[in-house]
Chain A
Amino acid sequence: GAVVSQHPSWVICKSGTSVKIECRSLDFQATTMFWYRQFPKQSLMLMATSNEGSKATYEQGVEKDKFLINHASLTLSTLTVTSAHPEDSSFYICSASDQGRDWRGYTFGSGTRLTVV
């Protein structure tokens, strides 16, 4: 089945630094990938939709200059949290779907737990 690989699984960084999270579709091409954020004991909230070869679409309230998304190939999307602050600490999850097969829904990456100290 469709596999989405996400790295790193966890990262601790200092306030003011930047962190890059990678999301790869391993056995299919993904023209669109989605980035979600999940705070403890809460549901997932969509942050942005990553489109291959074009600008990402951000949800209301998400700062595009803070959360930089790059989707340079059909198998890779990256999310960079710039000038991270403790309030950015969260669980970040990407997802994608394999449009080439019978519709089987969305596959999620394993998530990245970001802690900003």
Chain B
Amino acid sequence: ELKVEQNPLFLSMQEGKNYTIYCNYSTTSDRLYWYRQDPGKSLESLFVLLSNGAVKQEGRLMASLDTKARLSTLHITAAVHDLSATYFCAVDDSYGGSQGNLIFGKGTKLSVKP
């Protein structure tokens, strides 16, 4: 059974600081996703990581995937208040190309304070 562990679950940051959110998963997968959720809203797709060593950046966020270590990271650079939200990683429980179901981590609630 695929399990996804995300940490930390809560993160309070000061503006301008850097931090990393970690996502570990338990079985082989080659598709990992990062989503953002604002209170009362649905999920917004941030990154789709499809191969070992994949690195993607968008603004102050950068995500990477190490399939051998079964680890993905979401790095936040020079945080700003607008980044306050809950961030979820999710792993596709299929392997080898077929469409599968997403298994979500518990989410990291990020609060960026002035």
The answer to whether A105 and B33 touch (CB under 8 A), given A43-B105, A44-B104, A46-B101, is yes
Determine the residue in chain B with the shortest Cβ distance to A6.
Answer: B42
Closest CB of chain B to A63's CB: distance in Å? 18
Residues of A within 8 Å of B45, CB to CB, are 104-108
Could you tell me the dominant secondary structure of chain A's interface residues?
strand
Closest CB of chain A to B35's CB: distance in Å? 8
Closest CB of chain B to A72's CB: distance in Å? 20
Whether B43 is near chain A, meaning CB under 8 Å from some CB there, is yes
Interface pair A32/B48, CB less than 8 Å apart: no
Whether B85 is near chain A, meaning CB under 8 Å from some CB there, is no
Residues of B within 8 Å of A46, CB to CB, are 101-103
Closest CB of chain B to A77's CB: distance in Å? 15
Using a Cβ–Cβ cut-off of 8 Å, how many residues does chain A contribute to the interface with B? 23
The answer to whether A34 and B50 touch (CB under 8 A), given A43-B106, A43-B107, is no
Interface pair A93/B42, CB less than 8 Å apart: yes
Interface pair B50/A93, CB less than 8 Å apart: no
The contact string, 1 if C-beta is below 8 Å from chain A, for chain B 8-51, is 00000000000000000000000101010000111101001010
Whether A49 is near chain B, meaning CB under 8 Å from some CB there, is yes
The contact string, 1 if C-beta is below 8 Å from chain B, for chain A 97-108, is 101000111111
Cα(A99)–Cα(B41), bound, Å: 25
Interface pair B43/A108, CB less than 8 Å apart: yes
Cα(A9)–Cα(B59), bound, Å: 30
Cα(A32)–Cα(B41), bound, Å: 23
Closest CB of chain B to A1's CB: distance in Å? 9
Interface pair B50/A44, CB less than 8 Å apart: no
Residues of A within 8 Å of B90, CB to CB, are 44
Residues of A within 8 Å of B43, CB to CB, are 44, 93, 95, 108
B residues near A (Cβ < 8 Å) are: 31, 33, 35, 40-43, 45, 48, 50, 88, 90, 99, 101-107
A residues near B (Cβ < 8 Å) are: 6, 32, 34, 42-46, 49, 93, 95, 97, 99, 103-111, 113
Give 5 A-B contacts (CB < 8 Å), ordered by A residue. A44-B43, A44-B88, A46-B102, A93-B43, A103-B50
